[in-house]
Amino acid sequence: MKTESEYSNKKILVLGLAKSGFAVAKLLKKMNSDVTVVDSNPLEGNDEAQKLLDDGFKVITGSNDAKLVDDSFDYVVKNPGIPYSNELIKHAQEIGVPVITEPEIAYSYSDATMVAVTGTNGKTTVTTLIQLMLAHSPKFKKSYYAGNIGIPISDVIQKATSDDVVVTELSSFQLEGTIDLHPHVAVLNNIYSTHLDFHGNRENYIKAKMHITKNQTKDDYFIVNWNTEEWRNLAKQSSAVIKPFSDEQELTDGAYVKNDEIYFNKEFVMNTDSIQVPGEHNVQNALAAINVAKLFDVTNEDIIDVLASFKGVKHRIQYVDKFNGRKFYNDSKATNTEATIVALSAFKQPIVLIAGGLDRGNGFDELVPYLKGKVRNIVLYGQTADKMVDAAQKADISSITKVNNLKEAVPEAYRQSNEGEVILLSPAAASWDQFDTFEQRGDQYIDEVEALKGEN
């Protein structure tokens, strides 16, 4: 960890607490900055705010009035999920106060090697695989992961030294609020259309994602999925050394698949069937991780060991249990249709699908070809249930059932299932109509499966 950065000894307002806001406030105080924390939630029950008050921070709760920021502040650090339409954020921008996010601060204060991962789908899996692989690298003492994976970067960089590597998962929300962020290795796993309600349009969403490489130089590396022309063209925006990966074409450089075998720079690494987690998308995730691992001299043996033992990230096509011939998978992190398509494509067995959630205004016709012939029964709940009924009917699904909530959906899906089938929670929608987070939704699914097993 460095002793100071460009954000040291500044006057900074932190807007929004939760994990990242709490962590960055503590880090900024360590950097001798004058920190004011603003959180719209009341003080009662706000543990993070109370802890900061006890530590002597200036904390304002129950409001995020625009007048709380003026031109005496050097920066506003906002919680990534707070939209730029927020009145305080709009006012800060109008008076010329830069608005940034927690990764910008954390990266500026770290002298560890930084690897950053973004993409619409697979970020958490790729981040985890890279961290596990780099734990075997002779280049580093320790390997950490942080970021959108659920661990604030501001916490981790206070432990990581110049001998270590920190692998960070970065969302578009986080990346949009960065200025000088400069990872040595950046990974673009894929880009589909999502979060358009936040970013306004796909162009803005892509622009935010590409912040991951905007400060890279010829001494850095940009790992890019080579499967589409769009993603190949995006690579041209980077000044870094491009290391592509693909499961659709043979490459002269980087990781690729040929005849169910994985190669890196034409060298055989392993067979694809050695990868423990199901699905073609996880082959792509493995290729991205291998590209990074090979930059830091991780052996094929260690790569194989990681991929053969890794059983998946929680809430992302996570294997939950098996009983009475049915396998249960938790894909609560599938908050868009693209992620659910990935999940449906991962299985060869017939599927009983549980889906539904927050209505963001989009339709679900994209799912129809992937539902057809693969999903035998579907159980729907939440705001999007009626829209998804329409998609299910177009896919000629034999049984379509609507229930009130996830608690009702799990036993209903079980009743409709047969031996040898997969019961899959893959909502294709955000969780916020009935849950605070997708993690909470996935945890309830796991609990309901455990309860169901106890009854059967």
Q: Is 119 annotated as ligand-binding?
A: yes
Q: Is 125 annotated as ligand-binding?
A: yes
Instruction: Give me 7's structure tokens.
Output: 């954000």
Q: Is 121 annotated as ligand-binding?
A: yes
Q: Is 337 annotated as ligand-binding?
A: no
CB-based burial label for 299 (10 Å; 0-12, 13-18, 19+):
middle
Closest CA to 211 of 134, 293, 285, 107: 107
Q: Is 122 annotated as ligand-binding?
A: yes
CB atoms within 10 A of CB 237: 12
3-state secondary structure the chain: CCCCCCCCCCEEEEECCHHHHHHHHHHHHHCCCEEEEEECCCCCCCHHHHHHHHCCCEEEECCCCHHHCCCCCCEEEECCCCCCCCHHHHHHHHCCCCEECHHHHHHHCCCCEEEEEECCCCHHHHHHHHHHHHCCCCCCCCEEEEECCCECHHHHCCCCCCCCEEEEECCHHHHHCCCCCCCCEEEECCCCCCCHHHHCCHHHHHHHHHHHCCCCCCCCEEEEECCCHHHHHHHCCCCCEEEEEECCCCCCCCEEEECCEEEECCEEEEEHHHCCCCCHHHHHHHHHHHHHHHHCCCCHHHHHHHHHHCCCCCCCCEEEEEECCEEEEECCCCCCHHHHHHHHHCCCCCEEEEECCCCCCCCCHHHHHHHCCCEEEEEECCCCHHHHHHHHHHCCCCEEEECCCHHHHHHHHHHCCCCCCEEEECCCCCCCCCCCCHHHHHHHHHHHHHHHHHHC
Residue ranges at the known binding site for ATP: 119-125
Residue ranges at the known binding site: 119-125
